[in-house]
Structure formats: C-alpha cells, structure tokens
Amino acid sequence: MAEENSPESETAGTMESCTVVIPCYNEATRLRVDAYEAFLRSETSRGISLLFVNDGSLDGTLAVLNGLRTRLPEQVSVLDQQPNRGKAEAVRKGMLQVMADGHAAVTGFWDADLATPLEEIRHFRDLMTARPELHLVLGSRVRLLGHRIHRQPVRHYLGRFFATAVSLLLRLPVYDTQCGAKLFRITPELEQVLAEPFHSRWIFDVEILARYLAFHHGHSRELGAEMYEYPLPEWSDVKGSKVRPTDFLRAFGDLATIYRRHLAK
C-alpha cells in the first residue's frame, strides 16, 4: 500500500509510548530524584512516562513524589494507595491505571531504588517496538564478562536456585524471574492477567508468567515466543531492601500454590 512508505507512517510508528509503574514503599531517602529528572528530561526519553505508586508509605515518600510531579507534570503521575498493600498490589493497581488512561502501548514496572538503571527502559521499549510479536521483556541479571552485575553472592545463588525451580515447574527456560525490571505490551491478555489480585506478595512475577501460560493452555513454547529476557549490562544491589531471608522460604510455599492454582492438571 502507498501509505506504507510515507513519512507520516514512519514517524507515527517509530516508538511505542510507554508508562512504567514505580512502586514505592518508604522510599523517601532512597529515591534518586535527580536521576529520575535527568532521565525524563533527556531527548531520548520521549514517549516514556512514569507512574509512581505510593504504597501507604509512613515516611515522606508522597511529598517527594508530588514534588517530582510538579516539576514534570507531563511525564510523571502519582497514585496514592492507602494503606500499604505490598509491591504486587501496587504494581497491579498501577498497571491497571495505565491501561485505563489509554495513552500507552506498553507498561511495566521498575524498582524504585534503580538497581536497574532507568536508561534500560529505552532499550526494553526499543525491543518492543522492533519486535511486535513480543508481549513481555524481562530484565535478567546474568553475570557475563563485560556486564556489571553486582549482586550479593547469597542472593545470587538463592535466586539461581529459585529460578531453576520455576523454569522446571513452568517448563519455560527463564533465567531470572525476580528482577524488578519488566515491560509488558498492553493487550486484552494483560488486562486479564491483572484482573485479580495476586496471591503472592513477593513472587507475583511468577504468578504473572503462570497466568500468561494459562492462556496458552500450558504450552510454554508458545509463551516463550512472546517473551524476551534481556541480559542487563548493569545491575547492582541497593542497600535498604525490604526482603528478608524468611521471604525466600515463603516464596517456595507460594510457588507450590501458584502451581496448584494455575498449572496442575
């Protein structure tokens, strides 16, 4: 068709617009406001906006977020959820809000501590733009030469153990389920994936995969074709994590429940 090569269609189709959810619980002292501002003001971040969800924080998080919104009203919005409901629910509510707003083609979530640098949002979004078949792009903390992945050894090995269990259970060769950097294409499937609250507070990432897998009747190869794990060039543990060692044990209990609910035949 004639329109296919017109300049209009080239510019209109260049980049998927993207609104990423940042869940925030007591992040007043960890939020690197300058880094957020620099990222959003950069020319290359056009089409990217952030929705911060204040999840019943007891510190000054909401004031910090409102300050950022005042300075960048076009690109920053704030959802105040009271009381604290946990990361899973904050992310779910945030992504539902992005879908209801109807401006973005892509959403997702990103940990507020910027363990994954914000700049990677552009690379994730570029992948979504270049490959329309992708519905999920997941950050993956793979320690490769030339990649700066700084993770505490204990958390690295516990994470590897957990991800291996998940990949066996889901029959999906996923390397890292728990990285807090993920983008999703907005589709009717995503709407259904987010329709109900998650059972698990911390491994809702696995629950998301299990819910997608249910759409494919457990055919993990079909789902695998819609997913891309992006080996991050940089990731570093940021002090102040709220995850405790007991959460690791709870994660296995949650994994068993997810398996029973979504995958056991």
- Residues forming contacts to ligand GDP in the complex (CB under 6 A) are 23-25, 27, 55, 84, 86-87, 90, 111-113, 115, 180, 241-243
Q: Interface with Mg ion includes 113 (CB under 5 A)?
A: yes
CB of 180 to Mg ion, least distance (A): 6
**Minimal CA–CA distance to 91: which of 15, 183, 162, 176?**
183
Cα end-to-end span (Å), the chain: 47
Q: Judged by CB, which is closer to Mg ion: 55, or 113?
A: 113
Distance of alpha carbon 4 from alpha carbon 21, whole angstroms: 33
CB of 24 or CB of 255, closer to ligand GDP: 24
86 binds, among Mg ion, ligand GDP, none (CB under 5 to 8 A by kind): ligand GDP
**Minimal distance in Å, beta carbon 152 to Mg ion?**
11
Helix (H) or strand (E) holding 111: none
Least Cα distance to 202 among 262, 240, 249, 148 occurs for 249
Cα atoms in the Cβ-side hemisphere of radius 13 Å centred on 183:
30
Residue 176 in the binding site for Mg ion (CB under 5 A): no
CA dihedral (89, 241, 36, 61) positive or negative: positive
Question: Looking only at residues 114 through 153 of this chain, which bind Mg ion when binding is defined by CB under 5 A?
Answer: 115
Note whether 27 binds Mg ion by CB under 5 A.
Answer: no
Binding-site string for Mg ion from residue 219 to residue 258, where x marks contact by CB under 5 A and - marks none? -------------------x--x-----------------
Residue 242 C-beta: closest distance to Mg ion, Å: 8
Q: Are strands 106-110 and 136-140 parallel, antiparallel or unpaired?
A: unpaired
Taking the complex as a whole, how short is the minimal distance between the CB of residue 196 and ligand GDP, in angstroms? 18
Cα–Cα distance for residue pair 229/141, rounded to 1 Å:
10
Residues that bind Mg ion (CB under 5 A): 113, 115, 238, 241
